[in-house]
Amino acid sequence: MKKYNVDDIIKGKVTGIEDYGIFVSVDDNVTGLIHISEISTSFVRNILDYVEIGEEIQAKVLEYDAKNKKLKLSIKDFDYHTGKSKRSTITETKSGFENLHNSLDKWIVEKEEEMAKNQKKQ
């Protein structure tokens, strides 16, 4: 019997979808659940927007209950189609917000002119 460790990336097949999560078949003996709170960092309105039954996905192991052969899984912060982390590093530039600051006055004037034109049309 295979041992699953926390943070392992495993492959599985979506076998069921309920309002509270996604059921995944990992191998002949082990199944997993991706709770709705482990699907995305944003609000999940419809799980079907993320996966469909029969789809092969990858997930991160949060817990493994060897006795019951059950996994708690997550696809949050994880590109479950490729298996790569969604987190990327943001590097700070020397100019920071300077470009925005320099353009702000111009954008305000352009928007005011556009709004004035729209007012005259009405």
Report if residue 118 sits inside a domain.
no
Q: Do 65 and 31 form a contact (C-beta atoms < 8 A)? A: no
Strands (E), the chain: 9-18, 21-25, 31-35, 56-65, 70-74, 78-79, 84-85
pTM assigned to the model: 0.67
Question: Does some domain include residue 110?
Answer: no
Number of domains in the chain: 1
Span 90-103, pLDDT tens digits: 566 677 778 778 88
Residue 3 is predicted with a pLDDT of 83
Structural domain boundaries enclosing 32: 9-83
Give domain status of residue 40, yes or no.
yes
pLDDT over 70 at 78, yes or no = yes
The mean pLDDT value of the chain amounts to 88
Residue 60: inside a domain, yes or no?
yes
Q: Please enumerate in sequence order all residues whose Cβ is within 8 A of that of 112, keeping only pairs 6 or more positions apart, or say none.
A: none
Residue 26 lies in a domain: yes
The CATH number linked to 39 is: 2.40.50.140
Q: Flag whether 66 is in a domain.
A: yes
Q: Has residue 77 got a pLDDT over 90?
A: no
Assess whether pLDDT exceeds 60 at residue 88: no
In a domain, 94, yes or no: no
Instruction: Summarize pLDDT for 50-75 with one digit per residue, the tens.
Output: 999 999 999 999 999 989 999 999 99
Least-confidence region, from 7-11, 60-64, 77-81, 94-98: 94-98
Q: Is residue 108 part of a domain?
A: no
